[in-house]
Amino acid sequence: MSKAFKPATKLSLDDLNKNIIDAEYAIRGPIPTKAEELEFQLNTSAVNKDLPFNNVVYASIGNPQQLDQKPLTFSRQVISILQYPDLIKQREVLISSGLYNDDAFDRANRLFSQIGKSIGAYSGTQGIYGIRETVARFISKRDGFPSDPNDIFLTDGASKAATYLLSILCQNKSTGVLIPIPQYPLYTASITMYNATMLPYYLDEETNWSTNAEEIEKTVVESIANGVIPRVIVVINPGNPTGAVLSFDTIAKIFKIAAKYGIVVLADEVYQNNIYYKDVEFHSMKKVLRTLQRDHQGYENVQLASLHSTSKGVFGECGQRGGYMEITGFTDEVRQVITKLASISICSVVTGQALVDLMVDPPQPGEDSYELDKNERLTIHNNMKERGFLLYETFSKLEGIQCQKPQGAMYLFPALLLPQKALEEAKRLNLLPDEFYCLRLLETTGICTVPGSGFGQAEGTWHVRTTFLAPGTQWIKDWETFHKRFYDQYRD
Ligand SMILES: Cc1ncc(COP(=O)(O)O)c(C=O)c1O
């Protein structure tokens, strides 16, 4: 007689990888999840629509095209031809109808010659060589120092590149990863997933979120004394969520520490084109490193990985997952491991690769699309700048909120000076004070933001992170009205 068969129980969380369970990514955390529920409620007739607002404003994520930013015409013309090559047979008709520009066909043909038969085929692991050559030319021109296509990896956005590197470099809890606080939560989440130790270095809010090299070195020395080897330093420039842009000197000081202690530098430069003021300049970490190597001894062993993405800038093509990583100074054996890891995912999305080409090589003067493309880029850039400034000015007038002027990126990270009564109410609801503020803001106005606690903040301070991408100005007025009422309600 066979024994009675008892079906196996379902998996519980105890059966899963604890590091993944513990990883947190606030940008898709409880407040944005709540926002999606409210949006569903607004859009679904069967559910009670009784909410004090008509739409949800996603100021929680740097996702420009979700917020009505139009894709650049030239890029989409080229991508559409790559996706549907039969359009080439209709080239003359499409040009004379005004739907396509001539140079879009030229670019698509050039890309076809580099991609091979179809954009639907896998590419080599590092990405299409011709596109990597174009990226290397862009970097050489930007920095005034040569770049080699063999050092470029085309990746699914910058996120994939960051996780490749961190997964390789994090051995166990004795690997330390220096990250700025506040930071973009990809980094805290990855450190948790790869079971390494987070080594926070705090940015100075009072001086517009500046980076203090002495503070970094102090953290490094303490960490070594505690048996944790600082292996990587993450630098986000321009900063998310702070909008701060690093000076040449500050970057040079970071490299001095990297050279002294043998720390790999991971430069997240996805906002390099989001700079809003003439007196603020973006210096790539690659350029600073090459300058130091040219002018000084002691920097030859520094290892750098620089990331860029098609998701930001004026491109905003977040969903297409284009990006690249340039690696500098790694040994051949380490490069081979990076390549092997990338090969396990076969290749990055090939449309994303084509978009990288379009990002780094826009239409030039004299080409058909030049004027339109230039104007579209300028309009998007100016809109962001104006909205960022309006939001900053609005916050600057309000009681109980302190905001630094954004130099770059797409975000503001104002401090909330919350009254005691609001702190008590948050506690009663079992929420952190900044979560409480963001939840109230969402439930009252439909504006979805992310609490500062998701990015890290100095102890005892509370912040809110907002993008300045949402169109129009009404949401900014709504936020102002909400904030004043909130303060009136909870003022001590
Ligand atoms: C600093 C930073 N790095 C990386 C990313 C991820 O970008 P991607 O879409 O290229 O993966 C973001 C997205 O917001 C970001 O803010």
Whether the pLDDT of residue 346 is over 60: the answer is: yes
442: tokens are 């969402």
- Nearest in space to 195 (alpha carbons), one of 221, 228, 218, 223: 228
Question: What ranges make up the beta strands (E) of 405-488?
Answer: 411-412, 415-416, 447-448, 450-451, 464-467
Q: Given pLDDT bands bounded at 50, 70 and 90, which one contains residue 50?
A: confident
Ligand 1 centre and the CA of 98: distance in Å? 35
Atom of ligand 1 nearest to the CA of 239: 1
Whether the pLDDT of residue 47 is over 70: the answer is: no
- Give me the long-range contacts of 420-425 (CB less than 8 A, separation at least 24): 420/492, 421/490, 421/491, 421/492, 422/486, 422/490, 425/490
List pLDDT tens digits, range 465-489: 999 999 989 999 999 999 999 999 9
Q: Report which secondary-structure segment, H or E, holds 231.
A: strand 229-236
Instruction: Please give the pLDDT value at position 7.
Output: 84
d(CA 58, CA 61): 7
pLDDT top residue among 45 and 179? 179
443: tokens are 């439930």
In three-state secondary structure terms, 392 is helix
List pLDDT tens digits, range 371-388: 999 999 999 999 999 999
Q: Report which secondary-structure segment, H or E, holds 178.
A: strand 175-181
In three-state secondary structure terms, 198 is strand
Instruction: Please give the pLDDT value at position 309.
Output: 98
Ligand 1 centre and the CA of 423: distance in Å? 32
Q: Which residues form the pocket of ligand 1, taking CB atoms under 6 Å from any ligand atom? A: 62, 157-159, 184, 186, 236, 240, 268, 270, 309, 311, 318, 323
Determine the average pLDDT of the residues in 57-81: 94
Length of the chain counted residue by residue: 492
Structural domains in the chain?
15-67+375-490 (3.90.1150.10), 122-360 (3.40.640.10)
pLDDT top residue among 491 and 292? 292
Determine the average pLDDT of the residues in 147-167: 97
Q: How far apart are the first and last CA of the chain?
A: 76
Determine the average pLDDT of the residues in 101-112: 97
d(CA 99, CA 95): 6
Percent of the chain having pLDDT more than 70? Answer: 98
Q: Given pLDDT bands bounded at 50, 70 and 90, which one contains residue 48?
A: low
Instruction: Please give the pLDDT value at position 68.
Output: 87
Determine the average pLDDT of the residues in 289-295: 98
456: tokens are 């890290």
Ligand 1 centre and the CA of 270: distance in Å? 6
CB 304 within 8 A of CB 264: yes
**What is the best residue among 166, 188, 209, 312 to mutate for testing ligand 1's pocket, by most ligand atoms within 8 Å of CB?**
312
303: tokens are 């290892």
Instruction: Please give the pLDDT value at position 1.
Output: 53
Q: Given pLDDT bands bounded at 50, 70 and 90, which one contains residue 29?
A: confident
Instruction: Please give the pLDDT value at position 100.
Output: 97
Question: What ranges make up the beta strands (E) of 394-437?
Answer: 401-402, 411-412, 415-416
Atom of ligand 1 nearest to the CA of 323: 10
pLDDT-wise least confident of 59-73, 142-156, 433-447:
59-73
Percent of the chain having pLDDT more than 90? Answer: 91
Q: Tokens 């098609």 identify what position?
A: 310
List pLDDT tens digits, range 384-428: 999 999 999 999 999 999 999 889 999 999 999 999 999 999 999
| CB-CB neighbours of 326 under 10 Å | 25
CB 254 within 8 A of CB 212: no
**What is the best residue among 165, 184, 245 to mutate for testing ligand 1's pocket, by most ligand atoms within 8 Å of CB?**
184
- Nearest in space to 248 (alpha carbons), one of 296, 275, 284: 284
Given phi > 0 = left and psi -120 to 50 = alpha, else beta, which region is 313? left
Question: What ranges make up the beta strands (E) of 302-453?
Answer: 304-309, 323-328, 401-402, 411-412, 415-416, 447-448, 450-451
In three-state secondary structure terms, 227 is coil
Ligand 1 centre and the CA of 186: distance in Å? 8
Q: How far is Cα of residue 7 from the mean position of the Cα atoms in its chain?
A: 45
Whether the pLDDT of residue 49 is over 90: the answer is: no
Q: Given pLDDT bands bounded at 50, 70 and 90, which one contains residue 4?
A: confident
Given phi > 0 = left and psi -120 to 50 = alpha, else beta, which region is 198? beta
Q: Given pLDDT bands bounded at 50, 70 and 90, which one contains residue 440?
A: very high
Instruction: Please give the pLDDT value at position 45.
Output: 67
What's the mean per-residue pLDDT of the chain?
Answer: 95
Calculate the alpha carbon distances from 272 to 239, 328, 459 in Å: 10, 18, 30
Instruction: Please give the pLDDT value at position 46.
Output: 62
Ligand 1 centre and the CA of 63: distance in Å? 10
Whether the pLDDT of residue 27 is over 80: the answer is: no
Calculate the alpha carbon distances from 136 to 140, 324, 356 in Å: 6, 11, 11
In three-state secondary structure terms, 234 is strand
In three-state secondary structure terms, 30 is helix
Q: How many CA atoms lie within 13 A of 141 on its CB side?
A: 8
List pLDDT tens digits, range 226-259: 999 999 999 999 999 999 999 999 999 999 999 9
Nearest Cα residue to atom 6 of ligand 1? 159
Atom of ligand 1 nearest to the CA of 159: 11
d(CA 227, CA 229): 6
Atom of ligand 1 nearest to the CA of 156: 11
Alpha helices in 23-156 (DSSP H): 30-43, 73-83, 91-96, 102-115, 129-143
Whether the pLDDT of residue 437 is over 70: the answer is: yes
